Structure 1
Amino acid sequence: MAQPVRIGLTGGIGSGKSTVAALWVQRGATLVDTDAIARSLTLPGGAAIGPLAQVFGPAIIDATGAMDRQRMRERVFADAGAKQQLEQILHPLIGQACDEQALRATGPAVLFDVPLLVESGRWRSRVDRVLVVDADTPTQIERVIARSGWPRETVEQVIAQQAPRALRRSAADAVLHNQGKSLATLDEEVALLWARWVAAR
């Protein structure tokens, strides 16, 4: 049996990656969601909680025993060194969990949803194809505010921490422009990629 095609899915916050991922899953792809893995690692009892408390102090852990996401976000925005420390804790654990989930995949494709795929510099060699979901910055901001209720300033800070859109697109094997489109049109574009990358193998 052929190995599943490994596809890296990325895009800026609010670009619509989750919507695109769902369309791939409907066709039989196994989704490996690095954000979901990161959240599980930082929940009470998660594998990252002990190292986080050791590096950042007990104040970074909230009353439930989970990582205080808001406090950590503020630390990372204010201090590039803190961002690097956080990544040094989380990235190896995320990578290990991704490998374990991918090994259990039974379908013809594994879709790795990796928001910082381009920024990490490690993922390109781990996947066969890179798919970028792209939307302009005003659209990103509008979607995230509507979805999360974050202040505009916070959304802009997150976008500033991510790779520029042009850099992300330059790393792509395909780009889905996800604004001003119906879900049906987006689905048609995913169907074409599935036919080219997965079904044609």
Structure 2
Amino acid sequence: MRVGLTGGVASGKSSVADILRELGATIIDGDVLAREVVEKGTPGLERVVAAFGAEILTPDGDLDRPRLGQLVFNDPEQRRRLEAIVHPLVFERYAELESATGPDDLVVHDIPLLAESGRADGFDAVIVVDGPDDLRIERMLRDRGWTREDAESRIASQATREQRLAIATHVIDNAGSREQLRERVEQVFAELTSDRG
């Protein structure tokens, strides 16, 4: 079974992925793949440099993520340019990794921008990790050391809660305790694995 997992920034999606992995799901992480496809020496990095210029590289020739982030997160047109390069490469890698799994595996694609990509209907189920914007902002300030302005602009650059919830077959509310989160993830995992039988 192919499952999409998504959630806005600081929703707790990574925590949900970790619990699903512990329960036996195969996790394919979109953030990891997005970094992998633009590593030094890859065609992906060459395309990003061609689109945005050599100033987005570190002195060592790696992608300067903070610098690129400043360029794209406050400019929807620039963000779309970057996504048009990176998304197809990431989805190619998803397909390669998925083809290596077994027919009975629960394969969870951890895709931060699933609602934005328009690919939700390609999955048997979609899990959306949800939490109110004010709680997510609080987490970004506390856990990531971001400014309120950075946190608000990152939220504004992503799909709205309503857009994410519209693609969900399963919603995991992460506004409570770790124990409540784990209990809900276990419940969803049980529903998904019983659907396979």
Say if 2:82 is the partner of 1:81: no
Alignment TM-score, normalising by the size of structure 1: 0.91
Give the whole-Å Cα distance in 2 for the aligned partners of 1:103 and 1:162: 29
Give the whole-Å Cα distance in 2 for the aligned partners of 1:30 and 1:171: 21
Structure 2 gaps, min length 5: none
Say if 2:145 is the partner of 1:152: no
Q: 2:58 aligns with which of 43, 57, 62?
A: 62
Q: How much identity, in percent, do the aligned residues show?
A: 37
Q: 1:22 aligns with which of 18, 23, 26?
A: 18
Give the whole-Å Cα distance in 2 for the aligned partners of 1:58 and 1:105: 38
Deviations 1:67-103 (A, max 9, x none): 1112211211343221121111101100101111111
Aligned pairs for 1:103-142 (under 5 A) are 103-106=99-102, 108-121=105-118, 123-142=119-138
The answer to whether the 8 A contact 1:44-1:64 is kept is no
Cα-Cα RMSD: 1.5
Aligned pairs for 1:86-101 (under 5 A) are 86-101=82-97
Structure 2 match to 1:51: 47
Report the CA distance between 1:22 and its aligned residue: 0.8
Between 1:106-115 and 1:169-178, the stretch displaced more is 106-115
Between 1:134-143 and 1:74-83, the stretch displaced more is 74-83
Report the CA distance between 1:194 and its aligned residue: 1.7
Alignment TM-score, normalising by the size of structure 2: 0.92
Say if 2:183 is the partner of 1:188: yes
Deviations 1:30-69 (A, max 9, x none): 1111111111222322341111111111111111222111
Deviations 1:131-151 (A, max 9, x none): 111111111111122222121
Give the whole-Å Cα distance in 2 for the aligned partners of 1:140 and 1:198: 30
1:131 is paired with a residue whose SS is strand
Give the whole-Å Cα distance in 2 for the aligned partners of 1:175 and 1:36: 23
2:108 is paired with a residue whose SS is strand
**Alignment: residue pair count:** 195
The answer to whether the 8 A contact 2:135-2:175 is kept is yes
The answer to whether the 8 A contact 1:6-1:112 is kept is yes
1:187 is paired with a residue whose SS is helix
Say if 2:36 is the partner of 1:40: yes
Give the whole-Å Cα distance in 1 for the aligned partners of 2:165 and 2:76: 25
Q: Measured at CA, do residues 158 and 78 of structure 1 come closer, stay the same or move farther in structure 2, by a change above 3 Å?
A: closer
Structure 2 match to 1:199: 194
Which amino acid in structure 2 is aligned with residue 51 of structure 1?
R
2:128 is paired with a residue whose SS is strand
Q: Measured at CA, do residues 147 and 40 of structure 1 come closer, stay the same or move farther in structure 2, by a change above 3 Å?
A: farther
Give the whole-Å Cα distance in 2 for the aligned partners of 1:171 and 1:20: 18
